[in-house]
Structure 1
Amino acid sequence: MPTPPPQCPAHASDKAVPLSGPRFHTDPSGHYREMRAEHGPVVPVLLPGDVPAWLVIGYQEMYQVTSDAKLFPRDSGLWNQWENLPEDWPLRPMIGQRQPSIYYTVGAEHQRHLEMVQTAMQNISALELRKHCEELADQLLDGFSARGEADIIAEYAKPLPILVLARLLGFPDSDGPGLIKAMSALADGGEDALEGFQYFGAKIHELVADKQAAAGADLTSWMLAYPEYFTDEEYALDLMAITAAGHLPTADWIGNSIRLMLTDDRFAASLTGNRRSIPEAMNEVLWEDTPTQILAGRWAAWDTWLGGQRIRTGDMLLLGLAGANADPKVHVDAEGADTSLRGGNSAHFAFSHGEFQCPFQAQEIAETIARVGIEVLLDRLPEIDLAVPAGALARRPSAFLRGMTALPVRFAPTPPIEGKP
């Protein structure tokens, strides 16, 4: 059985917060308030199997951790709990171990992968990206617009990002249905998740081989053309990391934004063609309802103090992005008045921060997919409304990710667009 770090009373079972339970998806804001009141900005938590970690929910502390890559590197090899973990520990894939990819490398090697990916992404045309988004959004809408009802999550928000990303990577459209099935299985984490992961990995490796033989105007080919040497395995791992990181968070950004616009009167105008409130709703989601709630992680390179807690060498710090976004210190002034920092302000941690934050080009791609997806949906289905009471909507049962399990809607049936497949 895993044990807490030596002399760490904060992780005693009666003091630490289990990183599970329904409140993370039914009442996260209230849950974070209570954690902050009891523990402060750095919370002792227990992962499955009573594995100890720290959850950073203070805005200032989050900035400190993500800005100091020497004291808090993203190097899971430092973790002081590896020897205590069973082989079937469920969060192993999320924590990961050292792999030669942009997500798991550190230091100079991480920068090498990052520069290669960013250089390739700079070749993506904003006009072409928007064209792909509009065309694929229309194709998905054509599949259900005549029915007058749909589940926006399963039929639109989930498949749209993977279809757009597949085109950017250089997959033929015929691979779209298989990739949707595989990535949905990965996102749901069910019995077919491993099969989905294997299928996804195999297709990425095939894509690298295909582009080695015949390059095209796509992200994979541009990565292969980068002058520094990378192995085919490194290319494949980077492509898998890009796709996985871009798929579900973007899907949840779409779903959470549409839910907000359908349930909050402030955004009702956008449902009748006023697009000004679409970016406002999307930005509010990144502050209040961010798709990635908790991100693993950072590891302490030496003993230190953070937020009043004694952090020991090798301790894991989980980035509580949602908790830090909600820190009252950055929203309330000395007199207790709300400073409305959220409105129009992008100083949130939705994309993390610092050396290992989501690359800026990738953020732009995600924003374009989400915004165009919402615009096309509301243009095509202006009378859209929830098909169930707002209180009946459910979130996925996860402390780490925040998205809808389903978003049933109804609307006036409309025919498919002429000339569209």
Structure 2
Amino acid sequence: MSTPQHTGADGGGCPARRLYGPEFETDPGSLYRDMRAQHGPVAPVLLDGDIPAWLVIGYRELHYVLSTPSVFARSSSRWSAWDRIPPDWPLTPLLMRTPTVLHTEGEEHRRRAGAISDALAGADHHETRMSTARAADRLIDGFCAATGADLRADYATRLPAMVLGRLYGLDDARADQLAGAMTAMIDGGPEALDGQRFLLSAMTDLVAARRVRPGPDLVSRLLAHPAGITDEEAVPDLVVMLGGGHQPTTEWLGNTLRLMLTDDRFAASLSGARRSVGAALNEVLWEDTPTQNYAGRFAVHDVELGGQLLRAGDLVILGLAGANADPRVSPDPRGAPAHGNHAHMSFSHGEHRCPYPAQELAEIIVTTGVEVLLDRLPDVELAISPDELRWRPSPWMRGLVSLPVAFTPVIPLGDM
């Protein structure tokens, strides 16, 4: 098989790696190291269908991209490759220009992002923590009388959905439906477009209901914000908030549990030590960040970056995991400096970064989810060898296919 070529906007050719396939399931870290050795901090890559893009895996280069929207803009209307994209392209939901806050720029972005941040900040942290603990107990009650469970399917995927559903004013069943549709959309598979359509329809109904009868929930706060968010703006932005809240939080929780169950440095946590939980959360953000890569930014004009010439309209993929592993800045996660070093790129950077209130809520969900599980099942352990664990093959999200565990059965709290 011939080496794939990255044509780029200038029509030139250079060897490129496909940003999809089994390498992301086995060892993406080695893939990023190989790219860095071959190309430096900016590597030519090919998306599904061999669509060319640039992957930024250098920390300083990524920081520059995210800090200079005048050079690397957010709106995908600038992309020069739209004429090559087929109607059923699986990555269309991730890149198509939609009327969401993600694709806005300048003052329009600040207006809508400010409203979202304020709506998120209105969530009571104590109530969120209590809501998360109650939801965790309900989920654990569903499997604790057995001798084992899949912590991804039975716990890590469902807990964030339940808490986010509560923040949106939804019941657990509806929250689970939305979480499933979001997973399908973000994975970029054959069901991606169907997932997107379902989410937009569900959010349209929810916004209409909250306009008529507002409540003490995130949706109502967004609609009542002084920024004057319209229904046409609220619907896609609520989908964005749901995806940004559910998927990364699910993988953050699952990856943290995996680390604590497979690494002897965190074994004390299984006996109740709490200091290790925070250290595990931070290490996961450096080493197995939930969002590996993100699409993207678009070169406003021809520009040199990391030794590569990018042409106007070229797509830039944000290599968050690769930048975190940049040897120029990456700490040793097994040493003391990593415990207090929060300079990772896992929440992105710049004006389009994950809002700080959202980061706080995600940390509450993950920390509480880990602590409640360890309280309820103190002898939980991995049911298979660590090398039997399988990662999802997605180049976008970093998470396990399953996390099977074994434990001594306990009586559900609801039966006591």
Aligning the two structures, in what range does the TM-score lie when normalised by the shorter sequence? over 0.9
Matched residues, number: 411
Structure 1 residue 71: Cα displacement: 0.5
Aligned partner of residue 160 in structure 2, secondary structure: helix
Separation (CA, whole Å) in 1 of partners of 2:116 and 2:402: 33
Name the counterpart of 1:200: 199
Q: Which amino acid aligns with 1:69?
A: P
Name the counterpart of 1:360: 356
2:34 equivalent to 1:34: yes
The verdict on how the C-alpha distance between 1:88 and 1:147 changes in structure 2, with shifts beyond 3 A counting, is: same
The verdict on how the C-alpha distance between 1:68 and 1:183 changes in structure 2, with shifts beyond 3 A counting, is: closer
Structure 1 residue 170: Cα displacement: 1.4
Separation (CA, whole Å) in 1 of partners of 2:143 and 2:197: 30
Q: Is the 8 A contact 2:19 2:47 kept in 1?
A: yes
Deviations 1:48-90 (A, max 9, x none): 2221111000011011111101101111111111112111222
Q: Is the 8 A contact 2:6 2:16 kept in 1?
A: no
Separation (CA, whole Å) in 2 of partners of 1:162 and 1:156: 10
The verdict on how the C-alpha distance between 1:186 and 1:309 changes in structure 2, with shifts beyond 3 A counting, is: closer
Q: What are the equivalent positions in structure 2 for 1:255-334 lying under 5 Å apart?
A: 255-331=254-330
Structure 1 residue 330: Cα displacement: 1.0
Deviations 1:183-211 (A, max 9, x none): 45445656555444433332222211111
Separation (CA, whole Å) in 2 of partners of 1:268 and 1:240: 38
Separation (CA, whole Å) in 1 of partners of 2:209 and 2:286: 41
- Percent identity, aligned pairs only? 49
Separation (CA, whole Å) in 1 of partners of 2:293 and 2:89: 18
Structure 1 residue 94: Cα displacement: 1.1
Aligned partner of residue 30 in structure 1, secondary structure: helix
Structure 1 residue 108: Cα displacement: 1.2
Name the counterpart of 2:7: 4
Name the counterpart of 1:67: 67
2:372 equivalent to 1:373: no
Q: Which amino acid aligns with 1:282?
A: L
Separation (CA, whole Å) in 1 of partners of 2:331 and 2:100: 40
The verdict on how the C-alpha distance between 1:190 and 1:58 changes in structure 2, with shifts beyond 3 A counting, is: closer
Aligned partner of residue 117 in structure 1, secondary structure: helix
Aligned partner of residue 103 in structure 1, secondary structure: helix
Name the counterpart of 2:237: 238
Name the counterpart of 2:177: 178
Separation (CA, whole Å) in 2 of partners of 1:178 and 1:59: 37
Aligned partner of residue 328 in structure 2, secondary structure: helix
Structure 1 residue 101: Cα displacement: 1.8
Structure 1 residue 343: Cα displacement: 3.0
Q: Which amino acid aligns with 1:328?
A: P
Q: Is the 8 A contact 2:23 2:393 kept in 1?
A: no
Structure 1 residue 182: Cα displacement: 3.5
Q: Structure 2 unaligned runs (5+)?
A: none
TM superposition score normalised by structure 1: 0.93
Separation (CA, whole Å) in 1 of partners of 2:161 and 2:395: 23
Deviations 1:362-394 (A, max 9, x none): 111111111111111111111000111111100
The verdict on how the C-alpha distance between 1:174 and 1:58 changes in structure 2, with shifts beyond 3 A counting, is: closer
Q: Which amino acid aligns with 1:202?
A: S
Q: Is the 8 A contact 1:330 1:341 kept in 2?
A: no
Aligned partner of residue 103 in structure 2, secondary structure: coil
Separation (CA, whole Å) in 2 of partners of 1:89 and 1:176: 27
The verdict on how the C-alpha distance between 1:344 and 1:298 changes in structure 2, with shifts beyond 3 A counting, is: same
The verdict on how the C-alpha distance between 1:173 and 1:255 changes in structure 2, with shifts beyond 3 A counting, is: closer
Q: Which amino acid aligns with 2:283?
A: E
Q: Is the 8 A contact 1:42 1:306 kept in 2?
A: yes
Separation (CA, whole Å) in 1 of partners of 2:172 and 2:10: 56
Q: Is the 8 A contact 1:162 1:180 kept in 2?
A: yes
Q: Structure 1 unaligned runs (5+)?
A: none
Name the counterpart of 1:409: 405
